[in-house]
């Protein structure tokens, strides 16, 4: 699915996205994002890719020393984000073409975004470019696991009526595809290594279905 279509979908659901995400993760998304921030460290300029409603940047707090910048292709999401974090900067754009100078940021985060990227390797090349030496990248995402097939079956059958009622056919199918496109944790680690990153830590949450991964840019 193109970024244009994804941006339209996320803009349309921007008003309920936070509540929906909290609901489907049983509130876990908040602790996962705090774990990611803890693993990354709270210093230096921070870029949140696919920032959505800006929740990660908001969790850094107003006392954060350094720039807080969010990037997203969905204008509706960015409008919500600006209302949530007025001292943050927000930019309309995509991960594979970051509109920033070399070595601008110390941290780059992606919260439930990595599997949605059209070209993950192109993004990582861009991430290396805009990260400072030994800058960190942090990823929260759904990883493919033994029960992925069961989850997809439920989303296509038992949960489908609820999904269609709340989101409509196109949006619900988008969420199904996003699960289908998820990668095993070992595959994500391999891609990071091949693109010049050293994985530092991996945490697993929600019975292993979600991973929190931090890595640093190698020389």
Cα–Cα distance between 128 and 190 in angstroms, integer?
A: 16
Per-residue pLDDT tens digits for 125-140: 999 999 999 999 999 9
Planar angle of CA 214, 217, 219, nearest 5 degrees: 150
Can you list the positions of beta strands (E) in 5-150? 46-49, 68-72, 89-92, 105-111, 131-142
Confidence of residue 112 (pLDDT cuts 50, 70, 90): very high
Tally of domains in the chain: 2
Same domain, 151 and 205: no
Same domain, 203 and 108: yes
Q: Is 94 a residue whose pLDDT tops 70?
A: yes
Cα–Cα distance between 185 and 208 in angstroms, integer?
A: 10
CATH number (domain holding residue 45): 3.40.50.150
Q: Residue 160 is part of which domain span? A: 145-181
Q: Is 163 a residue whose pLDDT tops 70?
A: yes
Same domain, 100 and 63: yes
**pTM recorded for the entire structure:** 0.87
Same domain, 27 and 119: yes
Residue 97, Ramachandran bin (φ over 0: left; ψ between -120 and 50: alpha; else beta): beta
Per-residue pLDDT tens digits for 52-71: 999 999 999 999 999 999 99
Evaluate whether 94 touches 116 at the Cβ level (below 8 Å): no
Same domain, 161 and 73: no
Same domain, 135 and 157: no
């Amino acid at each position: 699915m193109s970024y244009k279509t994804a941006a339209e979908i996320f803009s349309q659901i921007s008003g309920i996205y936070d509540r929906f995400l909290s609901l489907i993760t049983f509130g876990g998304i908040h602790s996962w994002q705090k774990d990611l921030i803890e693993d990354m460290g709270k210093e230096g300029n921070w870029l949140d890719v696919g920032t959505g409603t800006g929740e990660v940047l908001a969790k850094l707090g107003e006392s954060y020393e350094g720039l807080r910048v969010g990037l997203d292709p969905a204008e509706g999401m960015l409008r919500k984000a600006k209302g949530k974090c007025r001292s943050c900067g927000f930019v309309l754009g995509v991960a594979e073409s970051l509109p920033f100078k070399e070595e601008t940021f110390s941290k780059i985060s992606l919260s439930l975004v990595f599997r949605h990227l059209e070209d993950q390797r192109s993004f990582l090349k861009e991430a290396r470019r805009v990260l400072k030496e030994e800058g960190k990248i942090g990823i929260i995402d759904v990883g493919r696991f033994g029960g992925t097939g069961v989850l997809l079956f439920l989303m296509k059958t038992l949960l489908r009526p609820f999904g269609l009622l709340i989101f409509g056919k196109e949006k619900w199918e988008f969420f199904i595809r996003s699960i289908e496109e998820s990668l095993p944790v070992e595959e994500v680690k391999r891609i990071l290594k091949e693109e010049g990153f050293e994985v530092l830590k991996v945490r697993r949450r929600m019975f292993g279905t979600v991973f929190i991964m931090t890595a640093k840019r190698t020389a």
